[in-house]
Structure 1
């Protein structure tokens, strides 16, 4: 097993196979029927998703997907493909520098999606056939949440546990303060900051129902408990988002007064993590801010939530109020520092 390969599995949430309504409906059903995503009793979840959300939301979501679809397909997918290819190239280069053949390590990088294609079961079957001595799993979510990272890890454990020969499996649960990742986000922002002046910075993260945070930890109070990041709340999604924000602000050279943390993409009527991005837009305008630069640090690849929700819908909302600029910073996509960050994660666990 000394020279057996190490498999690296990058996993993102998923995307429809096409922007057509039937494919979007299929994706939404698989996604929202996950008990970690909509954490209510299964019969109620089944009725809600199949009877309400999927039938009525699919046409609207399909129209939004059509806005961002390209010849390469969904940005979330093709950016993931680019990252996997570049990470493979970087690891191959690293291995080629080892002169001792007995120590030379081969890496196999693959991309999978939690929902739809390329599916985790199919990609794991491919890796199983290669008989790796180790699988390093890196979910493409810097901050841990049961509905994202938790779901990915659970699915992989369910599948691998059925193998007769189970290799060592290393999970990266989160990396909210990874230095190179933070630097990459800051560098993406510098492209806009070089040419424009802004009144305020907005750090918008994907939201979660408050109940999911409270169920995960008795420490969670949805208040001041996230002001300090410690061993107690190190896997709290909200606490990680605020810690990412503090590190990003430091990298950008701004103070706590210069930025606002908020949460987007609410679904349903239950309370989600406040403050909500759409409310913050109004508050920023009322406080006199007219030029805002927006970072999306929970998204490592541009997708529906960034390219349409933030860059278009929120942009239009802010300008309709009388705002002058609402500029979203691109996600990391396949930024060189992001590739270096992932390579570091792999090598640390090899």
Structure 2
């Protein structure tokens, strides 16, 4: 009996925290036309001439701070999730893990599925909210790879699962143990995107950034908008925890460059809260299903230090889904559910 293939894909990580490996990772990542969506010439000059040479050493030092005996936390938890999902689904399925950038590559993961003789492949990007720079890039890469095959099995793609009840429940449970009601404010910090990419995703050309609250409610017009999906995820978690609207803020982190990105910026909101006298902040990061550089270091360390410098006491990170058994159950449901 032919197996069904499941391809899990996460963003990626350097092979090591060495400067050379980090530069190699940054080069592949930032040269993706969906990530830095400017002209090929401009992207090459920016990435290869400025970002990779100068940002590489600094980023390497940061990666060294989160690297463990198991390597990159993002890779470790992604591998664990794939192994546990395979165990959960059983012999009728073949689960493979690929990284959009670096290793294990999507190409290698697809070859594993091909060698297993799978009759179908379901692609599950490990990004709950859709964005062209993440999910869109994964879908494009998969299609480029299988287009070279003589025989292409049935392939389906999961677009997003920003409102998946099981996922919402796990994030809420992770936050509940910190007693959210004891914090001065709750922040839902998502990875940022340039505003131009949000605008390009608005097929109607009449909605995105046309009002201050254009992302506050998910509709048929903005259903594929990354920011709107982020707001929806945050709203669902907040409702599950009975957090009133006035006590939480949806923010965006990890801005790169000087162009305007999705706002408000996490760092600016934390500074404002610190200057306003807030002492304790609880931060969820529901764009990431596995803890990584952006959560373990950027939020739990950098933002915590910045907040304390302003008189605050603590920025408490709510851990991600990682390899929790409940998360594997959700992945199994996504794997077997018809698209």
Q: Which residue of 11, 28, 31 corresponds with 1:30? A: 28
Partner-residue secondary structure (3-state), 2:123: strand
Q: Distance in 2 between matches of 1:316 and 1:81?
A: 31
CA deviations over 1:136-183 (Å, ceiling 9, x no partner)? 100000000000000000000111122111111111110011001011
Q: Superposition pairs for residues 127-138 of structure 1, below 5 Å? A: 127-138=113-124
Is the Cα–Cα contact under 8 Å of residues 203 and 259 in structure 1 kept in the other structure? yes
Q: Which residue of 167, 170, 174 corresponds with 1:181? A: 167
1:285 lines up with 2:271 in the alignment: no
Q: Distance in 1 between matches of 2:317 and 2:54?
A: 29
2:39: which partner in 1? Answer: 41
Q: Distance in 1 between matches of 2:198 and 2:182?
A: 36
Is the Cα–Cα contact under 8 Å of residues 277 and 312 in structure 2 kept in the other structure? no
Q: Distance in 2 between matches of 1:85 and 1:349?
A: 22
Unaligned ranges ≥5, structure 1: 96-105
Is the Cα–Cα contact under 8 Å of residues 4 and 132 in structure 1 kept in the other structure? yes
2:51: which partner in 1? Answer: 53
Q: CA deviation at 1:248?
A: 0.5
Q: Taking structure 1 as the reference length, what is the TM-score of the superposition?
A: 0.93
Q: Distance in 2 between matches of 1:339 and 1:349?
A: 18
Partner-residue secondary structure (3-state), 1:9: strand
Q: Superposition pairs for residues 73-88 of structure 1, below 5 Å? A: 73-88=71-86
Q: CA deviation at 1:255?
A: 1.3
1:102: which partner in 2? Answer: none
1:160 lines up with 2:149 in the alignment: no
* Aligned residues between the structures: 335
Q: Distance in 2 between matches of 1:236 and 1:181?
A: 19
Q: Return 5-14 or 330-339, whichever deviates more.
A: 330-339
Q: Distance in 2 between matches of 1:109 and 1:168?
A: 16
Is the Cα–Cα contact under 8 Å of residues 183 and 337 in structure 1 kept in the other structure? no
Q: CA deviation at 1:71?
A: 1.1
Q: Which residue of 162, 183, 193 corresponds with 1:208? A: 193
1:119 lines up with 2:117 in the alignment: no
Q: Distance in 2 between matches of 1:237 and 1:349?
A: 23
